[in-house]
Chains A and B, each alone.
Chain A
């Protein structure tokens, strides 16, 4: 039993006081992005004379991370949407102290035997399900946008924001990130930031939960073309629902290298599905602003990932790859949105 397995078992034992013969085994680090270390493991124990086994996921803070995310928010979002129209795995325990596993972490249910890879969707059998997956993907986003954050109990978890302040808060946040982390001047993104400030969008039509990384690659799907869970809520916040819609339409997620957003559907179809499900309207002027913003935010993430890797705070290879590969695509995306890409 590895050290991490035994320490994890010791922690879980405090959460399941009636369990005996509790064991953690088959711990395996999996690829779960660079913002948290992600492991799958099997928990077995005996309770009430019955032998039980559960497949679980550990999400542990790394020494440095792609985005300075708030695990309380991520955990809170999973809890809030559990057993709603927005499919998520069950979040079990959140630990903010570093005593148990060196860094804070949380544990949630593993949904076994599902896929998340955007590339797999491009080939059979999944490529046949693109339309079906698109319908679900943007319907679920509509449900997130439509949901009442107060009723979900997220008001105390996520920072409140006024409808007319959503854009300013998000833009200031990501501009600061670029200011702090850029390793070389970014003339395209700086021009985009100035454009965003000169052309502020209308106030948000409602304050929604914004997933903030809602894209193909962040949901689990099965072999029948069903979306089974929405993952990676680490950047979730309250804000303008158009932020989520625009993010998923960013050309850097066109995995099939064609016009389909997220490799699944054309922008107009995605917008139509989202509007129907959410009961909200994607005002073209406002959506254009949020699309330009989505590239600023994306570039901030890639710039920060390059900085993290260069500084040696976190040398996960995905940071180097995303820093390298995505920055140029992100510049191209914003040039296209602003009408400057020939």
Chain B
């Protein structure tokens, strides 16, 4: 698509925040237009990476589940981890990737909860791997406009 989406969103966000908002009489309308501008700037940041970061995140969680499964004795969770590890993304629309991401993240929560209750070196190793992935995931999702 030309002009590029990110170029268009840059211009649109700047127009809303710098040019349109100051001309509005109502302070509430000014605030809302500024918010729209900020949201367009966030959309611009997310647009290019939306599918890529979900694919990467899903791949990392599947890898983690595959590595963790042999150390998990709980039969139901063990099978869930194996199933999740062997699953794959075939539909690369953002909505489909988001759906598989949500399912994988729920499995991650369940695995995390499980290993926290175990007092073994293997559990600690898995727990550390989960924290690393949570930190990496948070970095992947980071928006430059975010306050922290």
Say yes or no: A187-B134 contact (C-beta < 8 A), given A31-B27, A332-B148. Answer: yes
Q: Total A-B residue pairs with C-beta atoms closer than 8 Å?
A: 95
Determine the chain A residues whose CB is within 8 A of the CB of B113 once the complex forms.
190, 194
Whether a CB of chain B sits under 8 angstroms from the CB of A184 is yes
Determine the chain B residues whose CB is within 8 A of the CB of A28 once the complex forms.
26-28
Interface residues on A, range: 35 or more
Q: What 0/1 readout, one digit per residue, does chain A (258-286) give for beta carbons within 8 Å of chain B?
A: 00000000000000000000000000000
Q: Contact check, A326 vs B108: say whether CB atoms are below 8 A apart.
A: no
Whether a CB of chain B sits under 8 angstroms from the CB of A100 is no
Q: Contact check, B28 vs A191: say whether CB atoms are below 8 A apart.
A: no
Residue of B nearest to A31 (CB): B31
| Partner pick for A254 among B98, B112, B145, B148, CB 8 A cutoff | B148
Give the A-binding residues of B (Cβ under 8 A): 26-28, 31-32, 35-36, 38-39, 42, 98, 101-102, 105-106, 108-109, 112-113, 116, 131, 134-135, 137-138, 141-143, 145-148
Docked CA distance A326–B138 (Å): 12
Whether a CB of chain B sits under 8 angstroms from the CB of A324 is yes
Q: Contact check, A191 vs B112: say whether CB atoms are below 8 A apart.
A: yes
Q: Contact check, B38 vs A341: say whether CB atoms are below 8 A apart.
A: no
The 5 closest A-B pairs by CB, nearest first: A31-B31, A29-B28, A185-B105, A329-B146, A251-B148
Determine, out of A158-166, A223-231, A232-240, A315-323, the stretch whose residues face the partner at the interface: A315-323
Q: Contact check, B143 vs A325: say whether CB atoms are below 8 A apart.
A: yes
Whether a CB of chain B sits under 8 angstroms from the CB of A30 is yes
Q: Contact check, B109 vs A325: say whether CB atoms are below 8 A apart.
A: no
With both chains docked as a complex, state the minimum distance between the C-beta of A60 and any C-beta of chain B, in angstroms. Answer: 13
Q: Contact check, A318 vs B28: say whether CB atoms are below 8 A apart.
A: no
Q: Contact check, B109 vs A185: say whether CB atoms are below 8 A apart.
A: yes
Give the B-binding residues of A (Cβ under 8 A): 28-31, 184-185, 187-188, 190-191, 194, 198, 251-255, 257, 317-318, 320-321, 324-326, 328-329, 331-333, 335-336, 340-342
Which residue of B106, B108, B131, B147 has the most chain A CB atoms within 10 A of its CB atom? B147
Docked CA distance A191–B109 (Å): 8
Say yes or no: A321-B39 contact (C-beta < 8 A), given A31-B27, A328-B142, A340-B135. Answer: yes
Docked CA distance A150–B36 (Å): 45
Q: Contact check, B102 vs A185: say whether CB atoms are below 8 A apart.
A: yes
Determine the chain A residues whose CB is within 8 A of the CB of B28 once the complex forms.
28-31
| Partner pick for B147 among A187, A198, A329, A331, CB 8 A cutoff | A329
Determine the chain B residues whose CB is within 8 A of the CB of A317 once the complex forms.
32, 35-36, 39
Residue of B nearest to A250 (CB): B148
Residue of B nearest to A191 (CB): B112
What would 28 A/B residue contacts be, using CB atoms closer than 8 Å? A29-B28, A30-B28, A31-B27, A31-B28, A184-B98, A184-B101, A185-B102, A185-B109, A187-B134, A188-B134, A251-B147, A251-B148, A252-B147, A254-B147, A255-B147, A317-B32, A318-B35, A325-B38, A325-B143, A326-B146, A326-B147, A328-B141, A328-B146, A331-B138, A332-B148, A335-B135, A336-B148, A340-B135
